[in-house]
Structure 1
Amino acid sequence: MRTITNRHFCNFFLFFTFLAIFPTISISFDTLTATQSIQSNQTLVSQGDVFELGFFTLDRPGEWYVGIWYKNIPQKTYVWVANRDNPLSDSSGIFKVENRNLVLLDQEQNPVWSSNITTAGDNNPVAQLLDTGNLVLREANSENGGGTNHYLWQSFDYPTDTLLPDMKLGWDLNTGFNRFLTAWRSTGDPSTGDFSFKLDYHGFPEIFLWDKQRIDYRSGPWNGVRFSGVPEMKPLDYINFNFVTNQDEVYYSFSITNKNIFSRLMVTPTGDLQRLTWIPDTEQWNPFWYAPKDQCDNYRECGPYGICDNNASPVCKCPRGFSPRNQQAWNLRDGSGGCVRKTDLDCSKDKFLHLPNMKLPESTTSYVDRNMNIKDCEALCARNCSCTAFAYVDIRNGGKGCVIWTGELIDMRQYSSGGGQDLFVRLAASDLGDGGNTTALIVGITVGAGVLLLGLIAFVKEYSSESKSEELELPLFDFETLAAATDNFSDENKLGQGGFGSVYMGTLVEGQQIAVKRLSKNSGQGVEEFKNEVRLIARLQHRNLVRLVGCCVEMDEKMLIYEYMAHRSLDSVLFNKARSSMLTWQRRFNIICGIARGLLYLHQDSRFRIIHRDLKASNILLDRDLNPKISDFGMARIFGGDQTEMNTKRVVGTYGYMSPEYAMDGLFSTKSDVFSFGVLVLEVVSGKKNRGFYHSNSELNLLGHAWRLWKEGNGLELIDSAAGESYNANEVLRCIHVGLLCVQERAEDRPSMSTVVLMLNSEAATMAHPKTPGFCLGRNTLETDSSTSKQDESCTVNQVTVTMLDAR
C-alpha cells in the first residue's frame, strides 16, 4: 500500500509542477469531447498549429472572453469571440460540450453563452478547432472531411468583426440566415459596435457598410470579376475572390492559395473596412486595401443621377442631359441634391448615353436576368418606359446578362481606366444628339466661370508651366457678399489670425455658415500661400480634409471660403482648460485616427503626393461632431509619383512640429509630416503643447518627457486628466507608442502613414521599439513658456534660415 501511495503522490506532484511551469496548456490537441472542458489555463490548438482557442482578457478589469486567435503570430490577433456581449467577471469560467451544445459557464455553473442547437441527433458530439479558424460541433463518428453539411454548428456562421478565408459573408436563402461582420466597440472592447458590413441579396446583390441605421459605403454589385465599386480587387497569385448567387444562397468569400500567407477582412471600431495580409518575411500585418477611401466612397455623395469623380474638382458632376437640382448648393460644392433631367423623356424616341468605367448605381431594387444578351437588354429597357438605365451582369468574355434600373440612379461614381464597368443611361434624344457613345460629363459649376478666369488669369499663367491642363473650378464670391456675411469683417466674427491674415465666421443669405480666410494685404508671402492653397485643396476630397467652397479675387482682396467648423481648431479645445473636458478619450482617439487617415490620403491616395509641411493643432479643425479635418495648405508641396524627398532653402513651418532634418537641412518628405503627426498624437494624449511645455522636474520638452515616461514603464502618466477616467489603457499606450515611433530622430526609422493607420486600428500590428525622439532638447534660457494662442502663433516661421535654427 505504501508503494502505491508514494507512486500516486509522485504523479500528482509532477502534474502540478508541470502546471506551475506551463500555466497554459493545450488539451486533446484540436478536439474537445463531452468528457472534457477548457479552463483559463488551457487552450485548443488546431491540427496544423494555425489557430488557438481559449480564454483571454484585454484591459477592462473583470471581463473575460472565450475566443480564437492566430497561434504563431507574435501579438495576439483575435478573429472570433464567443461571448462578446456577455463577458465573464473573472477567469474561473468553463468551456465545454454539454447537452449537444457548446457552452460557457461561470464559476457558479450559470450559462454565459451557448451554441443554442435545438435539433435532435447524436447525444455525444465533439467540438473541433480547424486550421481554417472554424470552430465546429460535429457528430463524434463523423470525420473532419465530412464537410460543412455534417456540422451541427460552426463559428463561421456567427462571425464577429473578421472574415477569414473560406468564410461566407451573406445569406442562406432556405433558412433566411444572414452572416455579417460587426465591429468591436473599441480596440479593447470586443462587444458589438456601431459598424456592420452586410450583404443585401435583393436585386443585383451588393454589400453595405452601416453605421447603426445609416449607410456609409457600398461595394457596388459583383460583375463577375470584382465588385464594381472596388477597382483594386484584381486577381492575385495567392488570393481568389468568390461570389456565389443561386436559389439556395448568396454570399461573398475569398480563399488563399499560399499557406504561408494569412489574410483577413475586418471592420474596425472606427468604421473602416480593412484587408490585412501577414507575410512571414515582414513579420507584420500589411494593409492591402481599405474603404471608405475618399469623398466619392461616401454613400450618396452626389445625390440622384449625380456622378462622383475623385479626379475632378469639384467631385460631383451631372451627366450629359442633366443639370444640378440646386444650383446654389452645387456652386458651394454640396452635390447631395443631385441632378435633374434637362428634357423630359419620350419613351418611343429616347436613346442611351454610354458611360464607361462606372461604379453601378445602387442595385438592390434593380431587375436582373443573368442569361440575356446586351442587345436584348437594351431592347427590353427601351420598351419599358420606366427603365432609366441598364448594364451587363457579368463583364467577362465581352459581357453577359442584363440588369435594369427603373428608378433614380443613386451613388454613381466614375473611375479612370481599369475600374468600374459600362453603364447605359436613358436620355432624351435631343439631349444626346449625334454623340450616342459620348462619355463627356458636364461639370455642374458654371456660374461665375468667366469672371473667375478674368480675376485669376495671372494666377493661371504663372502656374501654366507646372500643369497647362490644370483649371481652377471654384465658385467665385464677390466682396460685397462676403462683407455682408461677416458683418463687414467685424472683430466679433473673427475666428483667428495668423501670418497670412485673419479668418472670419460668416452666414450667407440662404443661411449656410462659412469661414472666410482673408489674405492680409501686407503679407508678401501670403500671395504665394493663397495660390498654392487654391491649386491644391480645390482638388483634394476626403472626409478628414476641410472643404473649400469658393474664393474671392477682387482688386487687392484675396479670400478663400471654407465650410464652417463648429468647434473651430483643435488647439482651441485641447489646450483650453474650460473646453478640454469635451475631449473624452474616445473622442481623442477618433481625432488621432481621423488625422492619420487624412494624412494617408495626402501621402498616398490623392491625385498627387502632397506634403503638408505645417501640420499642427491649430491647423486641425473640428466639426460639430468633433471629427477632425486637416486645413491650411498654403505651405504644402506636390511630389512626383516616384519622388521621395525634396530640399528647400526656405524652411516654413512651426517650431515644435518641425522634423530635425527639415529644420536643420531643409530636407522634407512624407516622413517630415509623420514627425509632425507624432507630435500631434502626444499633444492630444497629454493635453500639453510640445513647444512651451516642460516637466517641472526636468529640462525636457513634451517629446522628451513622453520618451522618459515610456522607458520607465509609466506611459499612462502622460494622459490628460481632462480625458476622464474611462479610457482603454492599451489604446492609450498604443497611441503613445505610435507617437514616439513617428517622432524618432532619423526619418528612415519613422513609419509610413499606411503603417500608422494599421497600428492605430489593430492590437495585433507589430510595433518596433521607438528610438530617441528628435529635438529632445533642454529648455533654452532665452525662451519663455507659451501659454496663449497668440504666443503659439508667433512660433510659426514663414521663412527661417538654417543659421537661425543653428543659433537656437
Structure 2
Amino acid sequence: MNNFVLYFLLLLLLSTVVDAANTAESPLSSIIAPQISPVYSSMAAFSPGIEVGRGKHGMGLKKKLLLTLITASTAMGTVILFLLCFWVYHRKYTNKSKERRGHSSDVAKGLALSQLRFLGKYNTFKTSCRKGSVTTMEYMVLESATNNFSESEILGVGGFGCVYKAKLEENLSVAVKRLHGGTSDAIREFENEVKLLSNIQHPNIISLLGCSIHAEIRLLVFELMQNGSLETQLHGPLRGSALTWHLRMKIALDVARGLEYLHEHCHPPIIHRDLKSSNILLDSNFSAKLSDFGLAVRDGAQKSSNIKLSGTLGYVAPEYLLDGKLTDKSDVFAFGVVLLELLLGRKPVEKLAPTQCQSIVTWAMPQLTDRSKLPNIVDPVIRNAMDLKHLYQVAAVAVLCIQPEPSYRPLIADVLHSLTPLVPMELGGTLRIAKPAPPAVTTMPSNN
C-alpha cells in the first residue's frame, strides 16, 4: 500500500514537470515576455555582430526556462510537503500500533497460553478509580474452583484475609485472595491493588488476572506461585534448605529489580510500603515477584492526611515509624531487612522473652561490619558455600540499606548494580562460574 502511494506521487511529480515544460513553449509565454526596447534595436543596426532576432530569441528562451523552473519547483515543493505530512502521519500511526503490541506482549509475559485463553472468556470493566481495566470473573466460578473456599485449599493467611488455591481448568491453577469484610480499609486496599496492578507489568511483580465483587466479598485472582512465599521457604518447615547461596542472591536481585521498576520507571513513582518476606512470592524456578499492593502509594500521595501509618514491625523504617516520613528510602530499609533474612536465616523480630523482642537489625549490625564474626552468624545452610568476598559485599550492601538516616541509604538502582555481579549468568546476573575441570584419566602401566 505504501509503495503504491509513493509510486503514484512520483508519477504526479513527473507529469507536473512535463506540463511545466510544455507551458514554456506555448504562445502564452510570448505574451508574458517583455518587448525588446528601441534602444537595443538601434544598437543592433550599428553593430553587425548583434542580430535583433537572435537576441530576442535568447532572452525569451531564458524567460521560458526560468518560468519552467519556477513551476517545477512549486510542484515539487507541494509534493514534498505532501510526502512529509504522509510520513509524519504514518510514523505516528506505526508508533501507536507498536505501543499497543508492546503492551499486549508485556501482559502476556506473566501468563501461560492457557491462562490467556481462559481470560478471553471474561469481559473487562473499569475500576471505580477509573484508571486501567481488569478482567471480571464470576463469583460462583471462583467459589467452585476453591472448593467453596475450603481450608484445605488455603495457601496463606494475612491481615487482609486468606489466599486460596483454585483450579479453573484442567491445566490452569491460580491463587485467589479473599479480603475480609466490607470495611472502608478493605475496600480501599482492594481498589488500590486493582488500580496499581492493572497499570503495571513487570517480570518481578505479581500478575493480576482478574477480580470479583459479590456483596461485601471482594476477590483478587493472581498467577499461582508454586514455591510460595520467601517467608515460608526461610522460616517454615524447610528452614531454607531449598535455597542455596546463589538462589538467595537471585531472589535478592529479583526483588531489587521489582523495586527499581516501581521507584524509577513508574510515573509518578510507587512506594510499596509493605515489603517483607511474606509478600515476596517464588515461582517454580524460584524467581521472585513482589505482591500485596494494598498499602502501596504513589510518590507525593504519602503527604495526604488520609494516609495512615501502616507496615509490619521489623520492616518499617525508623523515620516512618517515628515521624511518619515516607519516601522510596523506606522501601530500601525494608529491602535491607529482607537481605539480612536471606543472609542470616533469622526472622526480622525474634522473641527473647514473653515481653521482650529483638530486632534482626539491632542484633546483626555490630557483627556485620566485623569480618571475623560475620561468617559465624551466616545461616548454617549456606555457611562456607560462598566466596567470602561476595559475603562481605552483600553484608556491606545490607548495612547501607538499614542505616537509621535515610540520606545514608543507597538508591535501589545502586543496590541493583551491586548485586548483579554476584548472581550467576544463568540465574539472571553477570557472574561467570568456572566449570570444574574433568578428572584426569590415568592409564595403568602395561605388564608387557
Question: Do they fold alike, i.e. is TM over 0.5?
Answer: yes
Within 5 A, what are the aligned runs for 1:586-597?
586-597=246-257
For 2:157 and 2:369, the matched residues in 1 are separated by 39
Structure 1 residues 530, 715: CA separation in 2 closer, same or farther (over 3 Å shift)?
Answer: same
For 2:121 and 2:171, the matched residues in 1 are separated by 22
Q: Pick from 667, 670, 694 the counterpart of residue 328 of structure 2.
A: 670
Query: Is 1:471 paired with 2:129?
Result: no
For 2:351 and 2:390, the matched residues in 1 are separated by 24
Shift of 1:504: 0.2
Equivalent residues, number: 319
For 1:710 and 1:327, the matched residues in 2 are separated by 47
SS of the residue 2:259 aligns to = helix
Within 5 A, what are the aligned runs for 1:427-446?
none
Task: Report the residue type matching 1:732 in the other structure.
Answer: L
- 1:703-727 superposed Cα distances (whole Å, 9 cap, x missing partner): 1222111233322223101225422
- Do the aligned partners of 2:182 and 2:217 also contact (CA within 8 Å) in 1? no
Q: So what's the TM-score if we normalise by structure 2?
A: 0.66
Task: Report the residue type matching 1:679 in the other structure.
Answer: V
Shift of 1:693: 5.8
SS of the residue 2:310 aligns to = strand
Within 5 A, what are the aligned runs for 1:388-787?
447-449=122-124, 452-453=125-126, 459-460=127-128, 463=129, 470-472=131-133, 474-521=134-181, 523-639=183-299, 646=303, 650-692=308-350, 701-713=359-371, 714-723=373-382, 725-762=384-421
User: In structure 1, what is the equivalent of residue 71 of structure 2?
Assistant: none
SS of the residue 1:503 aligns to = strand
Structure 1 residues 306, 624: CA separation in 2 closer, same or farther (over 3 Å shift)?
Answer: farther
- Do the aligned partners of 1:584 and 1:724 also contact (CA within 8 Å) in 2? no
User: In structure 2, what is the equivalent of residue 309 of structure 1?
Assistant: 102
For 1:571 and 1:541, the matched residues in 2 are separated by 24
Within 5 A, what are the aligned runs for 1:250-399?
308-310=101-103, 315=107, 329-330=116-117, 332=119
Unaligned runs of 5+ in 2: 1-97, 423-448
- 1:1-60 superposed Cα distances (whole Å, 9 cap, x missing partner): xxxxxxxxxxxxxxxxxxxxxxxxxxxxxxxxxxxxxxxxxxxxxxxxxxxxxxxxxxxx
Shift of 1:497: 1.6
SS of the residue 1:552 aligns to = strand
Shift of 1:316: 5.5
For 1:497 and 1:510, the matched residues in 2 are separated by 26
Structure 1 residues 704, 686: CA separation in 2 closer, same or farther (over 3 Å shift)?
Answer: same
Bigger CA radius of gyration: 2
Task: Report the residue type matching 2:178 in the other structure.
Answer: R
- Do the aligned partners of 1:646 and 1:669 also contact (CA within 8 Å) in 2? no
- Do the aligned partners of 1:308 and 1:315 also contact (CA within 8 Å) in 2? no
Shift of 1:620: 0.4
Within 5 A, what are the aligned runs for 1:173-192?
none
Shift of 1:330: 4.8
Shift of 1:699: 8.3
For 2:283 and 2:248, the matched residues in 1 are separated by 14
Shift of 1:544: 0.9
Task: Report the residue type matching 2:368 in the other structure.
Answer: W
For 1:743 and 1:567, the matched residues in 2 are separated by 28
SS of the residue 2:164 aligns to = strand
> Which stretch of structure 1 is more off in the superposition, 719-728 or 671-680?
719-728
Query: Relative to total residues, which structure has the larger strand share, 1 or 2?
Result: 1
- Do the aligned partners of 2:114 and 2:171 also contact (CA within 8 Å) in 1? no
For 1:724 and 1:647, the matched residues in 2 are separated by 46
Structure 1 residues 314, 330: CA separation in 2 closer, same or farther (over 3 Å shift)?
Answer: farther
Over the matched positions of the two proteins, sequence identity in percent amounts to 34
Shift of 1:329: 1.6
Unaligned runs of 5+ in 1: 1-304, 318-324, 333-444, 454-458, 465-469, 764-808
Q: So what's the TM-score if we normalise by structure 1?
A: 0.37
- 1:325-351 superposed Cα distances (whole Å, 9 cap, x missing partner): 97962564xxxxxxxxxxxxxxxxxxx
Shift of 1:313: 10
Structure 1 residues 701, 500: CA separation in 2 closer, same or farther (over 3 Å shift)?
Answer: closer
For 2:190 and 2:357, the matched residues in 1 are separated by 39
- 1:396-431 superposed Cα distances (whole Å, 9 cap, x missing partner): xxxxxxxxxxxxxxxxxxxxxxxxxxxxxxxxxxxx
Shift of 1:622: 0.6
For 1:568 and 1:315, the matched residues in 2 are separated by 22
For 2:201 and 2:233, the matched residues in 1 are separated by 25
Cα RMSD (Å)? 2.9
Structure 1 residues 625, 681: CA separation in 2 closer, same or farther (over 3 Å shift)?
Answer: same
Shift of 1:615: 0.2
Within 5 A, what are the aligned runs for 1:114-129?
none
Structure 1 residues 471, 759: CA separation in 2 closer, same or farther (over 3 Å shift)?
Answer: closer
For 1:494 and 1:615, the matched residues in 2 are separated by 22
Shift of 1:543: 1.0
With a CA cutoff of 8 Å and minimum separation of 6, indicate the structure with the bigger relative contact order: 2
Structure 1 residues 306, 759: CA separation in 2 closer, same or farther (over 3 Å shift)?
Answer: closer
For 1:577 and 1:557, the matched residues in 2 are separated by 32
- Do the aligned partners of 1:544 and 1:594 also contact (CA within 8 Å) in 2? yes
Task: Report the residue type matching 2:123 in the other structure.
Answer: G
For 1:746 and 1:693, the matched residues in 2 are separated by 26
Structure 1 residues 609, 330: CA separation in 2 closer, same or farther (over 3 Å shift)?
Answer: farther
Query: Relative to total residues, which structure has the larger helix share, 1 or 2?
Result: 2
Shift of 1:563: 0.3
User: In structure 2, what is the equivalent of residue 40 of structure 1?
Assistant: none
For 1:531 and 1:678, the matched residues in 2 are separated by 29
For 1:527 and 1:560, the matched residues in 2 are separated by 12
Shift of 1:511: 2.2
Structure 1 residues 762, 327: CA separation in 2 closer, same or farther (over 3 Å shift)?
Answer: closer
Structure 1 residues 497, 734: CA separation in 2 closer, same or farther (over 3 Å shift)?
Answer: same
Within 5 A, what are the aligned runs for 1:38-117?
none
Shift of 1:694: 5.8
For 1:327 and 1:623, the matched residues in 2 are separated by 17
- 1:230-255 superposed Cα distances (whole Å, 9 cap, x missing partner): xxxxxxxxxxxxxxxxxxxxxxxxxx
- Do the aligned partners of 2:350 and 2:358 also contact (CA within 8 Å) in 1? no
Structure 1 residues 573, 525: CA separation in 2 closer, same or farther (over 3 Å shift)?
Answer: same
Shift of 1:606: 2.9
SS of the residue 1:758 aligns to = helix
For 1:581 and 1:756, the matched residues in 2 are separated by 26
For 1:755 and 1:568, the matched residues in 2 are separated by 28
